[in-house]
Amino acid sequence: MLTRVLFCSGILAACMTAGAQQSASQSPSLDDKRQDILDRVLARLAEDEARIKELEEKLARQTGQVPPTAPSAPSVAASLTSATAAEPSPDESPSAESDPHAHMLDLPGGGPKLQIRGFFDFNYGVGTDANPLIFPPGAPPHSNFQMGEFTLMTSSKLSNKLSFMSELVFGSDSSNVLAVDLERFLLSYRANKYFEASFGRYHTSIGYYSTAFHHGTWFQTATGRPFMYFFEDSGGLLPVHNVGVSLTGLVPGTKGLGLHWIAEIGNGRASSNLDAPVQNYYSDRNHKSYNLAAYVAPDWLRGLKMGGSYFRDRIAPPGVAAVDQTIGSIYAIYVTPTWEFMNEGVLLNNHIKNGRRTFHTPLAYTQVSRKVGAYRPYVRFQYVNSPANDPINTYIGRYMGPSLGVRWDFSDYAAFKLQYNRLDQRNARPRNGLDAQLAFTF
């Protein structure tokens, strides 16, 4: 307390003395006056600091305490002196020449902020049809602890109209090899609600599920995707991923109806490389795939979404001249915080031009759920029928059956799911599977 009083009284006295002397004398210039006042204040502060230090040492000797020997913080006078000396004049502002690395430290305006959101799921499966992501036909019904997908989703706003997002996934399969995949990366330009363009690798707008639920099972009610929307490297039949340009927007004059259009063009699916079906860098043909889609999301019934799409590609698998692939979809979705009704149908056609033969593959699913407190019981029925000798499809046969499950959100950002699957296949005995899953976001 004594040191604070002496310190404050010293500053006040120095300021009063300097002010009185300033008003009594006539200095040649205003700068000289300011410098004289500052010199007097600094001198008085130095005297008071020396006296305070002497009093502290005396008090320490009387109380038996040892004064600290570590270097103390710079004095007030020294701080003021260094600050005054370091302040640049208007003609001496920092420049790139004085710091050649300055342009490498900061982006203009501080730079965009990168936001990261993570997702992970851990599973325990019993039975052949238990894996929520990968369908292994004929795999032995071993029980497994399974590491699901570890997903890092990043986004950054570059300007009011420009943004970037990516989806990096760490995962494994039946080979037990941990791999890293950049599943999505998009640079998007949004001029207004009527036009938005995205460039990069995207989820193709075939149907509803493909673009409503991305990687990260925490978003989904069930433990995994419907079989018709399995990813390509998990045995999926549809070109869920594509590399190219995706355009979308609201149709003018349809705000109440919420009519949106989508147009996409990309490399399409690889003709022969089944290990890398998505053509990220090299395209094995000049022909590009395109997809046209539309949907309505009316204001008068929140949660309703109905639409369809038409996808076309030309693929050249080994031994076949060319295959024209067309995929048509239609869906009706009604999702609210309480109810979930999802219904989709897809017809995949692979037409061999020289052989004049077309292979038709119907795909469909229906899912219904209702939230009761923290629990959401659900049921899903799905159907896929891929004909024999299809030149493109990675899966041949019929996949049909129900799934029953319940999701328990025991935290705002974590959920436990338990799902039973029943699988009926052509020329095979029915199979069963049970999957327990912990899914969360962080």
What are 360-395's pLDDT values in tens digits?
999 999 999 999 999 999 999 999 999 988 988 888
Model confidence band, residue 426 (pLDDT cutoffs 50, 70, 90): confident
Which residues have CB under 8 Å from 302's CB, separation 6+? 336
Question: Residue 23: its pLDDT value, please?
Answer: 45
What are 58-85's pLDDT values in tens digits?
776 665 554 544 444 444 444 444 443 3
The tokens 């996808």 sit on which residue? 311
Question: Residue 436: its pLDDT value, please?
Answer: 95
Question: Residue 185: its pLDDT value, please?
Answer: 96
Q: How many CB atoms lie within 10 A of CB 265?
A: 14
Largest Cα–Cα distance of the chain, in whole Å?
Answer: 112
What are 278-312's pLDDT values in tens digits?
999 999 889 999 999 999 999 999 999 999 999 99
**437: part of which helix (H) or strand (E)?**
strand 431-441
Tell me which DSSP letter residue 228 carries.
Answer: G
Model confidence band, residue 126 (pLDDT cutoffs 50, 70, 90): confident
Tell whether the model's pLDDT for residue 197 goes beyond 70: yes
Higher pLDDT, 173 or 306: 306
Question: Residue 425: its pLDDT value, please?
Answer: 80
- Quick check: 221 and 213 in contact, CB under 8 A? no
- Quick check: 76 and 116 in contact, CB under 8 A? no
- Quick check: 203 and 262 in contact, CB under 8 A? no
What are 2-11's pLDDT values in tens digits?
444 444 445 4
Joined tokens for residue 228: 């018709």
Tell whether the model's pLDDT for residue 259 goes beyond 90: yes
Among the residue ranges 32-36, 117-121, 162-166, 427-431, the one predicted with the least confidence is 32-36
Model confidence band, residue 14 (pLDDT cutoffs 50, 70, 90): very low
Q: How far apart are CA 401 and CA 128, in angstroms?
A: 14
Question: Residue 128: its pLDDT value, please?
Answer: 65
Tell me which DSSP letter residue 424 carries.
Answer: B
Query: Average pLDDT of the chain?
Result: 82
Model confidence band, residue 229 (pLDDT cutoffs 50, 70, 90): very high
Q: In Å, how far are 87, 305, 404 from 336, measured between CA atoms?
A: 61, 11, 20
Pairing between β-strand 414-423 and β-strand 150-157 as defined by DSSP bridges: unpaired
In order, the DSSP letters of 46-110 are: HHHHHHHHHHHHHHHHHHTPPPP-SPPPPPHHHHHHHHHHHSPPGGG---TTT-TTGGGT--GGG
The number of angstroms, rounded, from the C-alpha of 216 to the middle of its chain's C-alpha atoms is 10
Q: Which of 111, 140, 112 lies closest to 125, judged by CA?
A: 140
Angle formed at CA 313 by CA 342 and CA 245, multiple of 5 degrees: 75
Crossing angle of helices 76-86 and 30-63, in 10° steps, is 150
Q: How far apart are CA 292 and CA 188, in angstroms?
A: 19
Q: Which of 153, 155, 156 lies closest to 120, judged by CA?
A: 153
Q: How far apart are CA 348 and CA 269, in angstroms?
A: 14
Q: How many CB atoms lie within 10 A of CB 202?
A: 24
Model confidence band, residue 341 (pLDDT cutoffs 50, 70, 90): very high
Question: Residue 433: its pLDDT value, please?
Answer: 86
Q: How far apart are CA 136 and CA 144, in angstroms?
A: 13
- Cite the DSSP H helix spans in 199-329: 209-212
Topology of 112-441 in CATH? Porin (2.40.160)
